[in-house]
Chains A and B, each alone.
Chain A
Amino acid sequence: MSEQFKLTVNGKAHTVSADADTPLLYVLRNDIGLVSPKYGCGQEQCGACNVLIDGEKAFSCSVTLKDAAGKQVTTLEGLGTAEQPHPIQAAFIAEQAAQCGYCTSGLIIATKALLDKNPNPDMDAIRVGLQDNLCRCGAHSRVFRAVRRAARELAG
């Protein structure tokens, strides 16, 4: 049964009509038109769908619309733009830290969640911070470099 829900995405208020248990992923991609979160597994196993909810990393494939309602959702689109990139986005480009790029959105969000909590992570902390995200192309080594670069840039 469709109901109306209010949620804030990237600082903008949206009203969405959908079943309460619709995963946030489909609301973001199909109702709101923000396509950065990707479907990868639907089971919190790959992180391709990662977004921030009230600043915490979340799996949008599993969070329901009802649970996201009233909260602040941030997707990759909300971090920066080509003209004004967020330092993490700039670092991923500087290090060319992707191959196909399907997991990139989730990785940048996971990096944001990590660096917000721990601005100067060592390698162990970086590995733990990204352990819920899978990458199949093998861009891991570059992603490590991008995260370290982003941490340096953010530290100024």
Chain B
Amino acid sequence: MATEAKRLPGSLRNNPGLDLWIGIETDGTVTVRSGKIEIGQGLKTAAMQVAAEELDVNLSRVRIKTADTAETADENVTSGSRSMEVSATALRFAAAECRAIMLKMAAEKLGVPVESLSVEDGAIRSSESNQQVTYWDLMGGRKFGRDATAAFPPKPPQAHRVVGTRVPRIDLPAKVFGQPAFIEDLRLPGMLHGRIVRPRHQGAALESADTAAAEKIPGVVKVLRDGDFLGVVAETEIAAIRARDALAANARWSAGDPLPDEDHLYEWMMSQDTVECGCVDGVHTDEPPPDTEPPADAKATLDQIYAKPFILHGTMGPSCAVAEWKAGKLIVHTQSQGVFPLRRALKNVFRMDEDDIRCIHMEGAGVYGHSGADDVALDAALLSRAVDGRPVRIQWMRDDEHCWEPFGTAMVTKVRASLGADNRVADWRFDVWSNHHGNRPKPKPTESGLLAARMIEDGLPPQTLGPAKDSEAGEHRNAWPGYDFPQINVAKHFVKAHPFRCSSLRGLGAFANVFAIEQMMDELACAAGEDPVTFRLAHMSDPRARFTLDAARDAIGWGKADKVPGPGQGIAYARYKNTAAYCAVAVDVEVDEKTGVVTILRAACAGDAGEAIAPDGIANQLEGGVIQSVSWTLKERVRFTPGEITSVDWESYPILTFREAPEVETVVLNRPGEKFLGVGEASQGPTGAAIANAVFAAIRVRLRELPFTPERVRKMIQEARRG
């Protein structure tokens, strides 16, 4: 039995019950359930397409329910671009099996062989009888009541009618017509509004708080101080905001440990105590690689350092949650990407029975990883508890999110690569320094990944942090190069001191690692005197990788804009996690040498995500990734002084505007019949490197440190021209 369960595909492995996935309702509809969440990536629509396809019902009959601890499969966290791979795969097999079960029921009912049956929009007909029966008649509101066996193969790709077509996203109309669509829009009877007060240094402790001014504000119901946790609850949202301001003005925080010098962050990281790990054939090892020397007969050896600062997820909508307590039970409406892990984390903080907590997902603004979504859920639960369980809605203010979301960690990479006499890479050594990436709430009962847990009197300490020990996790992600090099050494240096709380940000280590690898490939191509695309292709044996790079080259019109000075063209490639979607990005840029402004004139992106269920959804993810990555690359950096975080809004932490954003041409390489490959984070890495390579093509100056702000570009031009 156990071995049988092991063979189940995708999320069926841990959630085999068919009723967790498919419901045939009495009203002629089908309910599809997924433990994954919609977060603007089109999950709902794609999941519905898969189920409609296998069940042979029209899409208009399909409804979807996502992540709710009381209703759906426990699919852990919606992360790592794995929803299609695990959830859509599960749905595909579950739906195929439900169809087969109902066909068997119909054959018995109609007294005809199963082989004579066909289905059209849920109506089952036999070629041997005039009678028909529908799914809804057959099931009569009953459940399937059995586990999946995955013994019924899904349709072959050539039979697909819904999968692979451009279906408008089902979540968009509400957002375009202004209907309630987000957690921010939820209004419960008797609901109050809460806000919290936090310092601008993550290590500061509360020394004193005078609550009188806040309490005097009309409409304020409660001012809560619990250890270092400060919050207010009021009848109206504006009263809660005014009370927060009053409370913040009267709270004194201790100075935390001095933060590193932001202008020498990389030297600081490389000089810290580290946990040393390595990597063999792409697989994590606890032993670092040996120190090696470049081959004695190398034609050229390049040794360069590349660096990325701390950056923000920077959600447009600060984190929001609504919580209420009813007869000792906690209900949390949350935008968390993992309702089940959140429930376990809340259970630990409140030391209560997991069954007494229900976490219901609602859509929030896009967050691109681990934002404050889980933290605000605990904040709301704490404030609700302080007002006798009345529903409390909290939306963090802009500076809460900017200072307290878990940042994407700074990283430093050092690449030493040697060319042999044949102009091919003979030796590759890659070192990466990083803080933690994976810091989502974990189930360990003696510590907590939720922010307020460390602040309240009877709380829990923060989660222990360490190097990522899974292959392609954290700093490991895309540290291993996806090229055919004869000798590769990868060393991972996990920096123990962490000035900020960090966690998963779209792409994890891949952004910084690919930024380094793909610039070094460009630098090597230059040293070899070869075209960067030709040079890469000479090190690529996977035909799908080659095809993807070719597609981006064709889309941008490679070589047509390459003249110095003037616009420059750059390209970069990576297969996300070395196992997920293939992606190549090419850009045309213009650099104003006087002002230092880099303008992305045009971008082209090619992606192969295996079989495309929703091709436009894939295009949207690739395009969005390119533009977000342009923003990271050109503009973004968390700012701080020794005493506090100073990037607290969009002025002090600017992001790409509509004035600056390029138009992106996207090529989706559909591979019907191939397995789904996660694509949501695939274009981040290649974009940064493609821009750096294009800047070099334009002005012959290498930018190895992010972001490429006008000041930095001017400085690098001056240094290059002097040198």
Q: A100-B40, A142-B623 are known contacts. Are A39 and B395 too (CB-CB below 8 A)? A: yes
In the bound assembly, the distance between CA atoms of A18 and B184 in angstroms comes to 21
| A66 located at the interface, meaning its Cβ lies under 8 Å from any Cβ of chain B in the complex | no
Q: A18-B238, A34-B178, A102-B182 are known contacts. Are A41 and B398 too (CB-CB below 8 A)? A: yes
Q: Verify A39–B365 contact, CB threshold 8 A.
A: no
Q: Verify B658–A45 contact, CB threshold 8 A.
A: no
- Residue in A35, A99, A131 whose CB lies within 8 Å of B40: A99
- Residue in B172, B364, B398, B658 whose CB lies within 8 Å of A140: B658
- Residue in A19, A45, A81, A140 whose CB lies within 8 Å of B238: A19
Q: Verify A100–B39 contact, CB threshold 8 A.
A: yes
| B707 located at the interface, meaning its Cβ lies under 8 Å from any Cβ of chain A in the complex | no
Q: A96-B168, A96-B616 are known contacts. Are A141 and B661 too (CB-CB below 8 A)? A: yes
What is the minimal beta-carbon distance from B174 to any residue of chain A, in angstroms? 8
| B236 located at the interface, meaning its Cβ lies under 8 Å from any Cβ of chain A in the complex | yes
In the bound assembly, the distance between CA atoms of A99 and B315 in angstroms comes to 12
In A99-156, the 8 Å CB interface with B consists of 99-105, 108, 126-128, 130-131, 133-144
In the bound assembly, the distance between CA atoms of A78 and B616 in angstroms comes to 29
In A2-58, the 8 Å CB interface with B consists of 18-19, 22-23, 26, 29-30, 33-36, 38-43, 45-46, 48
Q: Verify A143–B658 contact, CB threshold 8 A.
A: yes
| B659 located at the interface, meaning its Cβ lies under 8 Å from any Cβ of chain A in the complex | yes
Q: A45-B649, A105-B178 are known contacts. Are A136 and B658 too (CB-CB below 8 A)? A: no
| B620 located at the interface, meaning its Cβ lies under 8 Å from any Cβ of chain A in the complex | yes
| A75 located at the interface, meaning its Cβ lies under 8 Å from any Cβ of chain B in the complex | yes
Measured CB to CB, the nearest residue on chain A to B242 is: A19
B: interface residue count bin:
35 or more
What is the minimal beta-carbon distance from B219 to any residue of chain A, in angstroms? 10
| B159 located at the interface, meaning its Cβ lies under 8 Å from any Cβ of chain A in the complex | no
Using Cβ atoms and an 8 Å threshold, which residues of chain A touch B659? Answer: 127-128, 130-131
In the bound assembly, the distance between CA atoms of A38 and B41 in angstroms comes to 20
Q: Verify A134–B655 contact, CB threshold 8 A.
A: yes
| A60 located at the interface, meaning its Cβ lies under 8 Å from any Cβ of chain B in the complex | no
- Residue in B176, B316, B623 whose CB lies within 8 Å of A40: B316
In the bound assembly, the distance between CA atoms of A45 and B650 in angstroms comes to 6
Q: Verify A99–B366 contact, CB threshold 8 A.
A: yes
| B625 located at the interface, meaning its Cβ lies under 8 Å from any Cβ of chain A in the complex | yes
What is the minimal beta-carbon distance from A39 to any residue of chain B, in angstroms? 6
Measured CB to CB, the nearest residue on chain B to A90 is: B176
Q: Verify A43–B398 contact, CB threshold 8 A.
A: yes
In B538-560, the 8 Å CB interface with A consists of none
Using Cβ atoms and an 8 Å threshold, which residues of chain A touch B168? Answer: 93, 96
| B271 located at the interface, meaning its Cβ lies under 8 Å from any Cβ of chain A in the complex | no
Q: Verify A104–B397 contact, CB threshold 8 A.
A: no
Q: A43-B649, A136-B316, A141-B664 are known contacts. Are A102 and B627 too (CB-CB below 8 A)? A: no
Measured CB to CB, the nearest residue on chain B to A34 is: B178
Q: Verify B628–A101 contact, CB threshold 8 A.
A: no
Using Cβ atoms and an 8 Å threshold, which residues of chain B touch A141? Answer: 623, 627, 661-664
Q: A138-B625, A144-B663 are known contacts. Are A98 and B173 too (CB-CB below 8 A)? A: no
| B464 located at the interface, meaning its Cβ lies under 8 Å from any Cβ of chain A in the complex | no
Using Cβ atoms and an 8 Å threshold, which residues of chain B touch A22? Answer: 238
Using Cβ atoms and an 8 Å threshold, which residues of chain B touch A45? Answer: 649-651
Measured CB to CB, the nearest residue on chain A to B41 is: A99
Using Cβ atoms and an 8 Å threshold, which residues of chain B touch A82? Answer: 173, 177
Q: Verify A137–B628 contact, CB threshold 8 A.
A: yes
In B49-68, the 8 Å CB interface with A consists of none
- Residue in A29, A76, A130, A136 whose CB lies within 8 Å of B314: A136
In the bound assembly, the distance between CA atoms of A19 and B217 in angstroms comes to 12
What is the minimal beta-carbon distance from B246 to any residue of chain A, in angstroms? 14
In the bound assembly, the distance between CA atoms of A128 and B660 in angstroms comes to 10
Chain B residues touching A, majority SS: loop
In the bound assembly, the distance between CA atoms of A103 and B366 in angstroms comes to 10
In the bound assembly, the distance between CA atoms of A76 and B181 in angstroms comes to 13
Using Cβ atoms and an 8 Å threshold, which residues of chain B touch A41? Answer: 398, 649-650
Using Cβ atoms and an 8 Å threshold, which residues of chain B touch A93? Answer: 168, 172-173, 176
In the bound assembly, the distance between CA atoms of A69 and B432 in angstroms comes to 58
In the bound assembly, the distance between CA atoms of A39 and B185 in angstroms comes to 11
What is the minimal beta-carbon distance from A128 to any residue of chain B, in angstroms? 7
| B657 located at the interface, meaning its Cβ lies under 8 Å from any Cβ of chain A in the complex | yes
What is the minimal beta-carbon distance from A90 to any residue of chain B, in angstroms? 9
Using Cβ atoms and an 8 Å threshold, which residues of chain A touch B397? Answer: 42
| B624 located at the interface, meaning its Cβ lies under 8 Å from any Cβ of chain A in the complex | yes
Measured CB to CB, the nearest residue on chain B to A144 is: B663
| B171 located at the interface, meaning its Cβ lies under 8 Å from any Cβ of chain A in the complex | yes
Using Cβ atoms and an 8 Å threshold, which residues of chain A touch B628? Answer: 136-138
Q: Verify B316–A100 contact, CB threshold 8 A.
A: yes
Using Cβ atoms and an 8 Å threshold, which residues of chain A touch B664? Answer: 141
| B318 located at the interface, meaning its Cβ lies under 8 Å from any Cβ of chain A in the complex | yes
Measured CB to CB, the nearest residue on chain B to A102 is: B365
Q: A75-B178, A76-B177, A134-B657 are known contacts. Are A96 and B316 too (CB-CB below 8 A)? A: no
| B160 located at the interface, meaning its Cβ lies under 8 Å from any Cβ of chain A in the complex | no
In the bound assembly, the distance between CA atoms of A90 and B172 in angstroms comes to 11
Measured CB to CB, the nearest residue on chain B to A19 is: B238
What is the minimal beta-carbon distance from B407 to any residue of chain A, in angstroms? 15
| A59 located at the interface, meaning its Cβ lies under 8 Å from any Cβ of chain B in the complex | no
In the bound assembly, the distance between CA atoms of A48 and B658 in angstroms comes to 14
Q: A26-B236, A93-B168, A100-B366 are known contacts. Are A137 and B176 too (CB-CB below 8 A)? A: no
In the bound assembly, the distance between CA atoms of A134 and B631 in angstroms comes to 11
In B155-207, the 8 Å CB interface with A consists of 168-169, 171-173, 175-182, 184-185, 187
Q: A46-B316, A102-B316 are known contacts. Are A137 and B650 too (CB-CB below 8 A)? A: no
What is the minimal beta-carbon distance from B67 to any residue of chain A, in angstroms? 16
Q: A18-B238, A96-B620 are in contact. List 20 more A-B contacts (CB 8 A).
A: A18-B236, A35-B184, A38-B182, A38-B184, A38-B316, A38-B317, A39-B318, A41-B398, A42-B398, A46-B650, A81-B177, A82-B173, A89-B176, A93-B176, A98-B40, A102-B182, A134-B657, A136-B315, A136-B628, A142-B623
Seen from chain A, the residues whose Cβ lies within 8 Å of a Cβ on chain B are 18-19, 22-23, 26, 29-30, 33-36, 38-43, 45-46, 48, 75-77, 80-82, 85, 89, 92-93, 96, 98-105, 108, 126-128, 130-131, 133-144
Q: What are 5 residue pairs bridging A and B, where the CB atoms are less than 8 Å apart in the complex? A: A45-B649, A89-B176, A102-B365, A127-B658, A140-B656
